[in-house]
Amino acid sequence: MAAVTLTNVVKRFGSFEVVHGANIDIADGEFVVFVGPSGCGKSTLLRMIAGLEDISGGDIAIGGKVMNDVEAADRGIAMVFQSYALYPHMTVEQNLSFGLRMNGNPKADTDRRVKRAAEILRIDELMQRRPKQLSGGQRQRVAIGRAIVREPQVFLFDEPLSNLDAELRVQMRVEISRLHKELGVTMIYVTHDQTEAMTLADRIVVLKAGNVEQIGAPLDLYDDPANRFVAGFIGSPKMNFLSAKVVDTSNSAAIIELVNHGGARLRKPLRDAFPAIGAEIVLGVRPEHFFEAGEGDCDIPVKADVAEHLGSVSYVYANSGPEELIVEREASRQRASGDHFTVSIKAERSLLFDKAGARIR
């Protein structure tokens, strides 16, 4: 059981800086997901926590102890690799017990730990097989089993589900969630898939190009993103971003005009900051926050371009000019390409960003 604390963590490869001073506090027993687009430094952060990469600056502490110069094996962590990294020439049982056997762990204890891991992951019947003879999902279980056997204080997962097909991914996601409840230990999980992040995490760390953009509970990030990047990254389909211009500010609100939608106007109450009149800004509206005509504060007539019917919901790609909107509609199976309809935006169900992407509240 251990908390993990990253203080101003920097990583450079040569002179190329890929992590620019990350500060992340992970509580004991918490499930934290690092999410961000490919190449943003998620794996690098995780590998620094694991001790597989040197730390160029700052401190990483596990269980209150600074680990910068501690050997990977002594950090009390276990890691599940994206490619599983199973020992190809060993049976599942040997894979699980290898580390313990190499360290002279008493056989009875090794057997007990291996048996327990096999039970937790339901891989008892596979113990004598080799990795080659396992399916992707089974390999994944063995890789997790090998981590469990170490009885670590912190589990690290690097995109563990990205090599699995969609159905298996959902299934394993549930299993990992269950595992976290069962073991109650700290887990740090890296993914580029925001759905995985939303479904698994107690808290999400959103990363972009080596910077921490926002840390928060999944629904907090969804409801209250700190900037346009987080707003766009969290949620599927993506949030719509509508170009707008401030035409007036009065009574702790801004009147904005949607420049690509026939000059439709919206009164957006603000709390902290008031953009200058004439400033170009961006209004963010999630697909599920377009209401029926007249229900909101600002109506926009649009024309359906393409409609995707998923059964429970439909996504209509619609436009009224150069800006395409994704509109979620429940049970609107009859909506077809070419239809004209009106969507309505509610001020409290939309977000305002300045030109640079920072949130205006």
Ligand X SMILES: Nc1ncnc2c1ncn2[C@@H]1O[C@H](COP(=O)(O)OP(=O)(O)O)[C@@H](O)[C@H]1O
Output the smallest distance, CB 146 to ligand X, in A: 21
Output the smallest distance, CB 94 to other proteins, in A: 10
CA-to-CA dists, residue 187 to 79, 170, 345, angstroms: 10, 18, 39
User: 212 vs 246, which CB is nearer to Mg ion?
Assistant: 212
> Is residue 271 classed exposed, middle or buried when 0-12, 13-18 and 19+ CB atoms within 10 A define those classes?
exposed
Q: How far apart are CA 183 and CA 25, in angstroms?
A: 20
E strand or H helix at 242? strand 240-250
Q: How far apart are CA 156 and CA 147, in angstroms?
A: 9
Output the smallest distance, CB 91 to other proteins, in A: 10
269 binds, among ligand X, Mg ion, other proteins, none (CB under 5 to 8 A by kind): none
User: 74 vs 348, which CB is nearer to other proteins?
Assistant: 74
User: 12 vs 89, which CB is nearer to other proteins?
Assistant: 89
For residue 76, give the amino acid letter.
G
Using CB under 6 A as the criterion, which residues of the chain lie in contact with ligand X when the complex forms? 13, 18, 36, 38-44
Output the smallest distance, CB 172 to other proteins, in A: 19
Q: Identify the residue among 5, 43, 140, 344 touching Mg ion (CB under 5 A).
A: 43
Q: How far apart are CA 314 and CA 330, in angstroms?
A: 6
Query: Which residue's beta carbon is nearest to the bound ligand X?
Result: 43
Output the smallest distance, CB 53 to ligand X, in A: 8
Query: Which residue's beta carbon is nearest to the bound Mg ion?
Result: 43
Q: How far apart are CA 61 and CA 191, in angstroms?
A: 22
Output the smallest distance, CB 16 to other proteins, in A: 18
Token code pair at residue 259: 């420049």
- The count of chain residues that interact with Mg ion, using the rule CB under 5 A, is 1
**What region, left, alpha or beta, does residue 352 occupy, with left being phi > 0 and alpha being psi -120 to 50 degrees?**
beta
User: 34 vs 222, which CB is nearer to ligand X?
Assistant: 34
Using CB under 8 A as the criterion, which residues of the chain lie in contact with other proteins when the complex forms? 50-52, 72-74, 77-79, 81, 83, 85-89, 98-99, 102-103, 146, 150
Residue 283's nearest CA partner among 168, 360, 184, 188 is 360
User: 140 vs 350, which CB is nearer to Mg ion?
Assistant: 140
